[in-house]
Every structure is written in C-alpha cells, then in structure tokens.
Amino acid sequence: MSASEITPYSPPKDIVIIGAGIIGCTSAYYLSRHPLLSSPTTPIKITILEAGDIAGGASGKAGGLVAKWAYPKELVDASFAEHVKLAKEHGGAERWGWRMVACGEWRGRVGGSGKKGKTPKGAGEHGVLPEDLDWVESEATEAYEPMAEDGETAQVHPYLFTASMLALAQEKGVKLVEGRATSIQYTPSEDTKDRYVSGVKYVDTNGVDGFLPVDTIILSAGPWTPTLLPQAPISGHRAHSITIRPSHPVSAYALFTSFTYPIGTRTRTATPEIYARPNNEVYACAPGDDEPLPKGTKDVLVDEKVCDQLVKDVGVMSKRLRDGEVTARQACYLPNVNSGPRGCPIVGRVEGVGGLVVAAGHTCWGICNAPGTAKAISELVMDGEITCANLSRLAPRNFF
C-alpha cells in the first residue's frame, strides 16, 4: 500500500499551510469552515506559515479578474459560484470590492487617423465604443470587442480578498506563524519505500529556528514551491503594475488593450491590461520579463523605468488616467507551470508521500480559481477525497 492510498482514511490533527497568498489563505478559510473542525472529539490544529507579508506576492498585486471564461474549466466551474457565495455571505462588495464588470478588447491608434471597427452591441455616441466606456480616447479607437456576455466576468480587490479570507479563518482558530519554511521533515514507512510528512522547519522573522510537528502539509508557496519540493515544475515570471486614482470616476470595465502611438520618428505598440476598480481606482499591468525569482516577496525588485513607461502608456489612451494620481508602482511574480497539462495548476496529494498536498502554479488565474482550489483541498484533507469537482487532471502525478 502506498502512503497516498492509506485506507481507511483518518482525519488530520496537525495541518500546516505553507504560504499566505490567496491559495493558502483561502484554503485556511475553507478548512476552518469544515464540519470536522467543530467536532469536540477531533481537535484539529491549523497553522499558516508566511515568510513575508500576507498577500505580499502576486496575490496582493494582481488585477483581480474573476471570469467564467477563464481556465482550466473544471476549476473555474468550481470557483465562480464560490466567489458569488463568499461575497454574499461576508459582504464582499464592501469588504473586497466584489462586483460584476464588463470586459473587452480595445485596439487603438493614438495620433493617427482612427479606423472604425466592428460596432459592438451597446455602442453609442463614442463610435465603436459602448456608451458608458467614456474614459478612453474615442477618436483613437480602432475597435472594441466585448470578450464575454454580461454576468460572465467579475472582479475582486485581490489583497483585500486574501486578507479577508485569512481574517475569517483566524476567527475560527487558524494560527498565523510569521516565518520562512526551510525544509519539510519526513518519516520513512516501515514496510514500503514511501514516506510521511512529520514536520516543518522554519526560521521566524527574528532569525530564530522553529519546528512545527505535522501530519498534513498544504504547500501553497506560489512560485517558491520548488524551494521546498524541487520536483514541482513551477517557475516565477516577473510582472509590473501600477494603480491610479483617475481625475474623474471611471465606469466598470476591464480592458485588454493594444495600441500604437508615435515617439519621435518611431511608433510604440503598448498592450497594458487596464481594470477599473470600485473606490475610484484603476489597475494596469505590463507584460512580464525574465528577472530571476528572488528569495522572497520582500526582495522583489521594482524597475522604475517599466512603471514610468506603463504610466505613460495608459495616459496616452485615457485623459482621465493621464490627469490622475499614481498611487502604487509595484512588481510581483506570476507562478508558471512548465510541464504537465497545459494551463493547469498542480492541485492534489503527492504520490508516495503521506500527508503532502500541493496547491500551486495557478498562472494568471489564481485569483479567479482560489475558492475552487481551496474547497477541493479542504475536502481532500478533511474527507479524504475531492467531491466538488473532478480535478484528476490537476493531480501532482500528471506533472512530476
């Protein structure tokens, strides 16, 4: 019998979640709501270990789009309805900026003669633009195409969502330990080649060594996952973003843009993604680069030149952004998966290692797919199997 096929299933007693990004914090939330936790006969300890700040990586610096048309489908289907439920139960609109948003592709040419594109449904006085999309330069617009039907795209503020998930989990007894996990400890099986997790060594924020005994580990360290599980084929891809307080409020649109504008004798093509948020904030991000992954979220380098260019680009296509105030200039690392089923994160038990569960590599849809991932993880850990979705494609054995 392999360690990953232990029968009968016995509930965990000591769970440690490594990484307080959106995947770790949302997993803590779902575990803390599991019925087993309120059973007086089965005390279960849940600890979340974080090396830097809560949501200090991509989870606090992402755009926050939540889409029915995202991927992979099995995880999206499990996640969208959970986002709706969480927002309803905990006042997500006020607490983490949950709302439905229109989403479209905008193409333009600034400083040239705009060609009229296909007129979308709802197009109004701004030519090819929908009537309420009044904050982009209408005369520069070449085309606007909606990317989804109404009701298929929503958004959250990713930092506020992640921090709320953790706070709600802490209300139910989840403990936060501030420290960097340095290694996972294993105990060999007496009769097979398998091993079982037995502890996590860590260094706290004062540099003091610590140890947490465990029977279950949820490894949700985003792009840093291979530092603790080298065989996980995950890498980090740096991306810059800014936030702007526009000069006048902007309507609820998430825009995937592509536009050109002249710089001297040259023409620049820019492709920022620009998301209006509630509370008069606009988020924009630039394409990624190959800067190597640093030790932790606090060591991420922000290239001011990239942020300056992003400020300039978005200002070219929108006067309200040009006249607005830049409120954040930041960078973070997208967790990419380098092998296995395309576009899929790694979610499930590691074969041959009892008690080790991976939930990492969510690429560009980790905000969208966190609730489905977390619900599935809580079922796997507490009940022994995932029933909310068929996530067999995402099982670690398909990746390493």
Ligand X SMILES: Cc1cc2nc3c(=O)[nH]c(=O)nc-3n(C[C@H](O)[C@H](O)[C@H](O)COP(=O)(O)OP(=O)(O)OC[C@H]3O[C@@H](n4cnc5c(N)ncnc54)[C@H](O)[C@@H]3O)c2cc1C
Residues engaged in binding ligand X (CB under 6 A): 18-24, 49-52, 56-59, 62-65, 180-181, 220-224, 227-228, 239, 241, 285, 296-297, 332, 334-335, 360, 362-368
Q: Toward ligand X, which CB reaches closer, 63 or 396?
A: 63
Q: Judged by CB, which is closer to ligand X: 12, or 222?
A: 222
C-alpha to C-alpha distance for 160 and 168, rounded to whole angstroms: 12
Residue 372: which of 100, 50, 23, 28 has the closest Cα?
23
CB of residue 361 to ligand X, shortest distance in Å: 7
Which C-beta is closer to ligand X: that of 110 or that of 377?
377
Structure-block tokens of residue 392: 């067999």
Find the shortest distance in angstroms from Cβ 115 to ligand X. 29
Instruction: State the minimum distance, in angstroms, from the CB of residue 19 to ligand X.
Output: 3
Contacts of 34 (CB under 8 A, 6+ apart): 378, 382
Pick between residue 44 and residue 274 the one whose CB is nearest to ligand X.
Answer: 274
Please identify, using beta-carbon distances, which residue of 119 and 336 lies nearer to ligand X.
336
Task: Name which of 226, 222, 244 is nearest 324 in CA terms.
Answer: 244
Query: Alpha-carbon distance 167 to 161, whole Å?
Result: 10
- Strand pairing partners for 184? 200
Least distance between ligand X and beta carbon 41 (Å): 31
Q: Which is nearer to ligand X, 140 or 311 (CB)?
A: 311
Q: Collect all residues with Cβ–Cβ distance below 8 Å to 85 and sequence separation of at least 6.
A: none
Which residue's CB is nearer to ligand X, number 311 or number 334?
334
In the block, residue with structure tokens 């296509």? 317
Give the E-state strand segments of the chain in sequence order: 14-18, 45-50, 65-67, 99-100, 102-109, 141-146, 153-155, 175-188, 195-204, 209-213, 216-219, 234-245, 253-263, 266-270, 273-277, 281-285, 325-337, 346-349, 353-354, 356-360
Q: Are strands 153-155 and 65-67 parallel, antiparallel or unpaired?
A: antiparallel
Rounded to a whole number of angstroms, the minimum distance from the CB of residue 217 to ligand X is: 11
Do residues 90 and 98 make contact, with C-beta atoms less than 8 angstroms apart? Answer: no
Smallest gap from Cβ 334 to ligand X, in A, equals: 4
Q: Taking the complex as a whole, how short is the minimal distance between the CB of residue 366 and ligand X, in angstroms?
A: 2
- Collapse the DSSP code of 303 into the 3-class scheme (helix H, G, I; strand E, B; otherwise coil) and give the result: coil
* Size (the chain), residues: 400
C-beta of 124: minimal distance to ligand X in Å? 27
Alpha carbon 205 to its chain centroid, in Å, reads: 25
The SS3 of residue 17 is: strand
From the CB of 273, what's the least distance to ligand X, in Å? 7
Which of 21, 340 has the CB closer to ligand X? 21
Q: Which is nearer to ligand X, 129 or 181 (CB)?
A: 181
> Could you tell me which of 323, 332, 373 has the C-alpha nearest to residue 165?
373
Comparison of 117 and 272: residue with beta carbon closer to ligand X: 272
8 A C-beta contact, residue 128 and residue 144: yes
252: Cα within 13 Å, side-chain hemisphere: 16
Q: Which two tokens stand for residue 139?
A: 């005369």
CB of 23 to ligand X, least distance (A): 4
